[in-house]
């Protein structure tokens, strides 16, 4: 085809100077406060939120990806007619600031606010459409005040409490960790192995909400399955029974009035108990061995176990260690004596912290029994077991040991189990129900639902966090700071570098008791920073409120968040805590919904070009500036969204980035060509009935690809949305190459140019804004334009392409009308391959309707 685009002289097309236009528009958008949320109650609302960052150093590629996704969503939602809330802020408390302050002899606040300043500059440079009026940092006293207020409200309701128990202490971070923050047995932040310390700590009662947190996962249709599965798993609902065993006195014979209660999912195996196990840190176990010849071995085991993480302790492969206590307990159903052991595979904080050892049915108990020569009485068998025929009707205990090398499979039939013999056993089996009923009837057991989830340990022995607003008085105990004295402000003059800590800061902790007026001491622990991020999304709805955490009506307008975007690493941390916090606020009457985030998108990782995770220590970090500086923010945003679907990991690809930049330049040129010599003041509308053949093709592509792009956008598949725009640019390019500027269809050219520019606006906003104003000669921001509407009918082609073969070989293609007659199809096909059949005799023409024509000629 002839290239006729030369009738637009190249000098009429300005060069695409990304830096210049990006600076220009950022300034104008700022001045016009373009991204200020305008609350129009007549429009449907959409709250688009990216997880706010921790302000360490500058932003990295993961942030850039997170925000490019969110920004594209927010901008498109606005163009689709929504009233959009799209805020940003900083999760600004936390250890790195404190460590940096110690290292550089500066203030954590100073370091933090400097980093925030840098991050905001970068966000700005990327052209994100945040409403900066709503920005806040969790370390602002105006914000953390309300976190303290909420803590006190929880304390009043019994949802915040203090208890002494063995907790995970990270020796490197010098603070305790919540259970969720010990990942694979290590500190989530630094990777050290936590130690167990017995400390008095503050907790939030998330376990009160365990069942609701579990049930409501089913409501979250817009969440990825794997995140929900992780939460289900973490909550760990277990159905079983508590069974009371009676403690036998030191004489080994006389029952006492003390009970040891176990938790089991397998009450059906009660006849097979051959020992009882307590965990080494059990104070009850200590009491049993105190002053006996068993105490020394016990103390050794207790010490040794402190070094092992709870994950390792439960592992089936790890060697088990145990000691006998010298004492016995009585099996409630058989009346037999059961020796009490202490072993490291039992945990203090699960169930009742005591286990009935059934070596026949549980592999860990089996291994333990083998190691310490304890009997393994068979009480559950499968029909193919060699003992089955012998024992199937046996009710009393006869065979007390087996020669197996592993425990029985989970399901089978009960033997040697009194009246329950012959019943089918297993988790939730009829035998479990029958035995549990027996225990309930005899008042020595009860059905019980158990959760793996533990209460959330929120106190931290570090400075840079929200102070727990409590005062300890020797007379009155723990007393909350009166509301009119909130916030308890963090002192900002500690010399952290010289080793100052909050716990030693007299000006901070010395106070008087609000109740009795005696001298008293403030709590010097600060709250886990995950408390700060558990409700920040609510504060964005009303960020400057100094009377209450937020206005309920404003929250009602915006919440829940419609699209929440962030990393999968928060699956059981932030995303569980926020759900809990929301439910607590709901029960306090502050909000009236159950779940904070309707749709969740967990973006994939940005890896280096070898597919490795980017990290400072590996030296393979690609900073956003390395793309933004040479190519501009729009190329960066386009590349991030184009290289992969948002949920997938992608490897950083220099060539793809350069390719995206070339596309912007090419599309820029096409838009200019489409607008050249056009009457932009009177664009007119496309009338599909008056288009010529070439125009028809372009119009059909416009509608087809526009619809496709819209659908992909609505499903957050930006990469395929972008491919549709690229295809449309190609179609437009074919049209301008084949036509003279003066002869082009005015309305069609301008509609295509408009559509390209509008559909690119959520992705490359500066590029679009410039073309919108300069090439299309429009006034007002492209950000305020409605998304283009397209027509399904005009997207249908009325012609189809068929393949043309000569003697079975593909020789060409032909365009025919969909409803063309056989004769027309044959004639068109012959023309398309005229060169191959010239001078030959045609013997036969075979037409496969809608697909191909084969011409037999020689």
Least Å distance, CB 415 to ligand ANZ, is 14
Least Å distance, CB 518 to Zn ion, is 5
Q: Which residue lies nearer to ligand ANZ by CB, 358 or 639?
A: 358
Answer for the pair 686, 748: CB distance below 8 angstroms, yes or no.
Answer: yes
Least Å distance, CB 519 to Zn ion, is 9
Q: Could you say which of 52, 350, 535, 783 contacts ligand ANZ (CB under 6 A)?
A: 350
Q: Identify what 516 binds: ligand ANZ, Zn ion, none; CB under 5 to 8 Å per kind.
A: Zn ion
* 217 Cβ contact partners less than 8 Å away, ≥ 6 residues apart: 223, 228, 231, 232
Question: Across the beta sheet with 799-806, what order do the strands follow?
Answer: 809-817, 799-806, 852-857, 842-848
Alpha helices in 192-241 (DSSP H): 210-215, 225-235
Q: Which of 638, 112, 466, 74 is nearest to 120 (CA)?
A: 112
Which of these ranges, 34-42, 263-271, 437-445, 544-552, lies near ligand ANZ under the rule CB under 6 A? 263-271
Catalog residues that contact Zn ion under the rule CB under 5 A. Answer: 473, 475-476, 513, 515-516
Least Å distance, CB 450 to ligand ANZ, is 6
Site map (CB under 6 A) of ligand ANZ, residues 351-370, x = contact: x-x-xx-x--xx--------
Using DSSP, state whether 505 is helix, strand or coil: coil
* 312 Cβ contact partners less than 8 Å away, ≥ 6 residues apart: 185, 318
Instruction: Indicate whether 265 belongs to the interface with ligand ANZ (CB under 6 A).
Output: yes
Q: Which residue lies nearer to ligand ANZ by CB, 359 or 467?
A: 359
Question: Can you read off the two tokens belonging to residue 87?
Answer: 């805020």
Question: Can you read off the two tokens belonging to residue 793?
Answer: 């009918």
Q: Identify what 174 binds: Zn ion, ligand ANZ, none; CB under 5 to 8 Å per kind.
A: none
Q: Which of 215, 67, 147 is nearest to 563 (CA)?
A: 67
Distance CA 467, CA 455 (A): 20
Q: Which of 425, 299, 285 is nearest to 353 (CA)?
A: 285
Distance CA 244, CA 246 (A): 7
Helix (H) or strand (E) holding 310, with range, is: helix 310-314
* 381 Cβ contact partners less than 8 Å away, ≥ 6 residues apart: 387, 388, 391, 392, 408, 412, 413, 415
Q: Which residue lies nearer to Zn ion by CB, 513 or 731?
A: 513
Least Å distance, CB 262 to ligand ANZ, is 7
Q: Identify what 76 binds: ligand ANZ, Zn ion, none; CB under 5 to 8 Å per kind.
A: none
Q: Identify what 362 binds: Zn ion, ligand ANZ, none; CB under 5 to 8 Å per kind.
A: ligand ANZ
Q: Identify what 637 binds: ligand ANZ, Zn ion, none; CB under 5 to 8 Å per kind.
A: none
Half-sphere exposure of 55 (CA within 13 A, CB side): 28
Least Å distance, CB 366 to ligand ANZ, is 9
Q: Identify what 350 binds: Zn ion, ligand ANZ, none; CB under 5 to 8 Å per kind.
A: ligand ANZ
Q: Could you say which of 136, 203, 209, 263 contacts ligand ANZ (CB under 6 A)?
A: 263
Instruction: Indicate whether 238 belongs to the interface with ligand ANZ (CB under 6 A).
Output: yes
Q: Which residue lies nearer to ligand ANZ by CB, 63 or 454?
A: 454
Is the alpha carbon torsion for 733, 739, 742, 745 positive or negative? negative
Q: Which residue lies nearer to ligand ANZ by CB, 250 or 428?
A: 428
Q: Identify what 475 binds: ligand ANZ, Zn ion, none; CB under 5 to 8 Å per kind.
A: Zn ion
Question: Can you read off the two tokens belonging to residue 41?
Answer: 């109650």
Q: Which residue lies nearer to ligand ANZ by CB, 330 or 781?
A: 330
Q: Could you say which of 181, 201, 231, 450 contacts ligand ANZ (CB under 6 A)?
A: 450
Distance CA 285, CA 406 (A): 28
Q: Which residue lies nearer to Zn ion by CB, 479 or 738?
A: 479
Q: Identify what 159 binds: Zn ion, ligand ANZ, none; CB under 5 to 8 Å per kind.
A: none
Q: Identify what 346 binds: ligand ANZ, Zn ion, none; CB under 5 to 8 Å per kind.
A: ligand ANZ
198 φ, ψ (degrees, to nearest 5): -90, 105
Distances 817 to 435, 705, 797, 798 between C-alpha atoms, Å? 77, 21, 9, 6
Q: Which residue lies nearer to ligand ANZ by CB, 356 or 486?
A: 356
Question: How many other C-beta atoms can be found within 10 angstroms of the C-beta atom of residue 127?
Answer: 24
299 φ, ψ (degrees, to nearest 5): -60, -35
Least Å distance, CB 521 to Zn ion, is 11
Q: Which residue is nearest to ligand ANZ (CB)?
A: 361
User: Please, which contacts does 103-108 make with residues 24 or more away whose CB atoms are closer than 8 Å?
Assistant: 103/497, 104/497, 105/495, 105/496, 105/497, 105/498, 106/497, 107/492, 107/493, 107/494, 107/496, 108/463, 108/464, 108/496
Least Å distance, CB 355 to ligand ANZ, is 5
Q: Which residue lies nearer to ligand ANZ by CB, 14 or 236?
A: 236
Q: Identify what 177 binds: Zn ion, ligand ANZ, none; CB under 5 to 8 Å per kind.
A: none
Q: Identify what 356 binds: ligand ANZ, Zn ion, none; CB under 5 to 8 Å per kind.
A: ligand ANZ
Instruction: Indicate whether 347 belongs to the interface with ligand ANZ (CB under 6 A).
Output: yes
Distances 376 to 329, 403, 767 between C-alpha atoms, Å? 18, 9, 76
Q: Which residue lies nearer to ligand ANZ by CB, 94 or 361?
A: 361
Q: Identify what 473 binds: ligand ANZ, Zn ion, none; CB under 5 to 8 Å per kind.
A: Zn ion
Q: Which residue lies nearer to ligand ANZ by CB, 99 or 265?
A: 265
Distance CA 555, CA 557 (A): 5
Number of residues interacting with ligand ANZ: please give it, by CB under 6 A.
17
Q: Identify what 5 binds: ligand ANZ, Zn ion, none; CB under 5 to 8 Å per kind.
A: none
Q: Identify what 238 binds: Zn ion, ligand ANZ, none; CB under 5 to 8 Å per kind.
A: ligand ANZ
Half-sphere exposure of 239 (CA within 13 A, CB side): 8
Which of these ranges, 66-74, 259-267, 810-818, 826-834, lies near ligand ANZ under the rule CB under 6 A? 259-267
Distance CA 709, CA 721 (A): 4
Q: Could you say which of 346, 584, 782, 837 contacts ligand ANZ (CB under 6 A)?
A: 346
Least Å distance, CB 515 to Zn ion, is 5
Q: Which residue lies nearer to ligand ANZ by CB, 263 or 564?
A: 263
Q: Which residue lies nearer to ligand ANZ by CB, 106 or 238?
A: 238
Buried residues in 797-822 as b, exposed as e (16+ CB within 10 A): eeebebbbbbeeeebbebebeeebee
Q: Which residue lies nearer to ligand ANZ by CB, 123 or 379?
A: 379
Distance CA 454, CA 310 (A): 13
Distance CA 752, CA 729 (A): 9
Q: Which residue lies nearer to ligand ANZ by CB, 238 or 719?
A: 238
Q: Could you say which of 264, 578, 598, 805 contacts ligand ANZ (CB under 6 A)?
A: 264
Q: Identify what 266 binds: Zn ion, ligand ANZ, none; CB under 5 to 8 Å per kind.
A: ligand ANZ
Q: Identify what 817 binds: Zn ion, ligand ANZ, none; CB under 5 to 8 Å per kind.
A: none
Which of these ranges, 151-159, 346-354, 560-568, 783-791, lies near ligand ANZ under the rule CB under 6 A? 346-354
Q: Could you say which of 99, 112, 115, 269 contacts ligand ANZ (CB under 6 A)?
A: 269
Distance CA 177, CA 190 (A): 11
Distance CA 347, CA 341 (A): 13
Using DSSP, state whether 79 is helix, strand or coil: helix
Using DSSP, state whether 57 is helix, strand or coil: coil
Q: Which residue lies nearer to Zn ion by CB, 432 or 470?
A: 470
Q: Tokens 């291994």, residue?
A: 367
* 711 Cβ contact partners less than 8 Å away, ≥ 6 residues apart: none
- Residues of this chain that interact with ligand ANZ (CB under 6 A) are 238, 263-266, 269, 346-347, 350-351, 353, 355-356, 358, 361-362, 450
């Amino acid at each position: 085809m002839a290239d006729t685009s030369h009738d637009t002289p190249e000098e009429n097309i300005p060069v695409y100077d990304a830096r210049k236009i990006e600076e220009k528009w950022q300034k104008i958008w700022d001045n016009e406060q373009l991204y200020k949320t305008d609350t129009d109650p007549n429009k449907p609302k959409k709250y688009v939120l990216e997880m706010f960052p921790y302000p360490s150093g500058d932003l990295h590629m993961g942030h850039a990806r997170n925000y490019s996704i969110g920004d594209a969503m927010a901008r498109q939602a606005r163009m689709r007619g929504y009233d959009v809330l799209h805020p940003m802020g900083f999760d600004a408390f936390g250890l790195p600031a404190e460590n940096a302050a110690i290292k550089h002899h500066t203030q954590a606040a100073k370091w933090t606010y400097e980093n925030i300043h840098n991050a905001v500059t970068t966000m700005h440079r990327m052209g994100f459409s945040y409403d900066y009026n709503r920005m806040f940092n969790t370390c602002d006293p105006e914000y953390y005040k309300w976190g303290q207020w909420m803590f006190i409200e929880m304390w009043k309701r019994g949802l915040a409490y203090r208890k002494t128990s063995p907790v995970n202490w990270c020796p490197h971070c010098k603070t305790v960790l919540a259970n969720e923050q010990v990942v694979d047995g290590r500190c989530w932040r630094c990777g050290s192995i936590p130690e167990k310390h017995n400390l008095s700590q503050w907790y939030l009662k998330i376990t009160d909400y365990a069942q609701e947190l579990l049930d409501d996962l089913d409501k979250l249709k817009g969440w990825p399955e794997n995140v929900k599965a992780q939460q289900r798993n973490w909550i760990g609902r277990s159905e079983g029974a508590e069974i009371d065993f009676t403690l036998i006195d030191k004489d080994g014979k006389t029952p006492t009035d003390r009970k040891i209660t176990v938790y089991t999912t397998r009450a059906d195996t009660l006849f097979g108990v051959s020992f009882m196990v307590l965990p080494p840190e059990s104070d009850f176990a200590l009491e049993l061995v105190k002053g006996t010849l068993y105490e020394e071995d016990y103390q050794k085991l207790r010490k040794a176990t402190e070094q092992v993480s709870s994950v390792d302790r439960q592992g089936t492969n790890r060697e088990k260690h145990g000691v006998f206590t010298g004492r016995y307990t009585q099996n409630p159903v058989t009346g037999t004596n059961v020796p009490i052991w202490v072993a490291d595979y039992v945990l203090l904080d699960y169930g009742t912290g005591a286990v009935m050892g059934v070596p026949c049915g549980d592999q860990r108990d089996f291994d333990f029994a083998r190691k310490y020569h304890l009997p393994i009485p068979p009480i559950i068998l499968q029909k193919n077991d060699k003992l089955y025929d012998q024992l199937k009707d046996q009710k009393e205990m006869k065979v007390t040991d087996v020669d197996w090398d592993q425990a029985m499979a989970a399901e089978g039939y009960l033997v040697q189990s009194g009246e329950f013999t012959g019943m089918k056993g297993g988790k939730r089996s009829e035998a479990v129900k029958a035995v549990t009923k027996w225990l309930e009837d005899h008042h020595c057991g009860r059905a019980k639902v158990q959760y793996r989830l533990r209460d959330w340990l929120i106190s931290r022995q570090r400075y840079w966090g929200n102070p727990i607003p409590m005062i300890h008085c020797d007379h009155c105990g723990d007393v909350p700071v009166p509301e009119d004295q909130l916030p308890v402000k963090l002192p900002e003059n500690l010399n952290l570098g010289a080793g100052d800590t909050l716990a030693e800061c007299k000006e901070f902790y010395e106070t008087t008791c609000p109740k009795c007026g005696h001298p008293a001491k403030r709590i010097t622990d600060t709250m886990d920073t995950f408390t700060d991020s558990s409700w920040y999304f609510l504060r964005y709805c009303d960020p400057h409120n100094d009377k209450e955490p937020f206005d309920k009506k404003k929250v009602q307008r915006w919440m829940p968040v419609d699209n929440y975007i962030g990393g999968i690493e928060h699956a059981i941390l932030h995303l569980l805590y926020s759900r809990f916090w929301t439910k607590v606020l709901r029960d306090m009457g502050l909000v009236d919904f159950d779940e904070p985030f309707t749709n969740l998108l967990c973006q994939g990782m940005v890896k280096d070009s070898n597919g490795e995770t980017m990290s400072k220590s590996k030296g393979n970090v690609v900073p956003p500036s390395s793309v933004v500086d040479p190519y501009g923010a729009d190329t960066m945003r386009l590349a991030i969204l184009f290289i992969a679907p948002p949920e997938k990991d992608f490897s950083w690809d220099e060539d793809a980035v350069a390719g995206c930049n070339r596309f912007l330049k090419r599309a820029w040129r096409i838009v200019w060509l489409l607008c050249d010599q056009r009457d932009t003041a009177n664009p007119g509308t496309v009338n599909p009935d008056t288009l010529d053949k070439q125009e028809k093709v372009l119009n059909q592509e416009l509608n087809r690809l526009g619809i496709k792009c819209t659908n992909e956008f609505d499903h957050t598949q930006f990469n395929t949305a972008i491919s549709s725009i690229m295809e449309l640019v190609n179609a437009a390019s074919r049209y301008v190459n084949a036509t003279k500027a003066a002869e082009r269809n005015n309305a069609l050219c301008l509609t295509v140019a408009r559509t390209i520019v509008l559909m690119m606006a959520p992705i490359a906003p500066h590029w679009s804004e410039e073309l919108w104003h300069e090439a299309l000669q429009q006034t007002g921001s492209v950000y305020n334009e409605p998304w283009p509407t397209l027509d399904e009918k005009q997207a249908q082609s009325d012609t189809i392409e068929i393949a043309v073969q000569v003697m079975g070989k593909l020789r060409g293609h032909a365009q025919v009308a969909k409803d063309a007659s056989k004769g027309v199809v044959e004639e068109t096909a012959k023309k398309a391959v005229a060169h191959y059949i010239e001078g030959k005799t045609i013997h036969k023409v075979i037409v496969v309707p809608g697909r191909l024509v084969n011409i037999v000629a020689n």
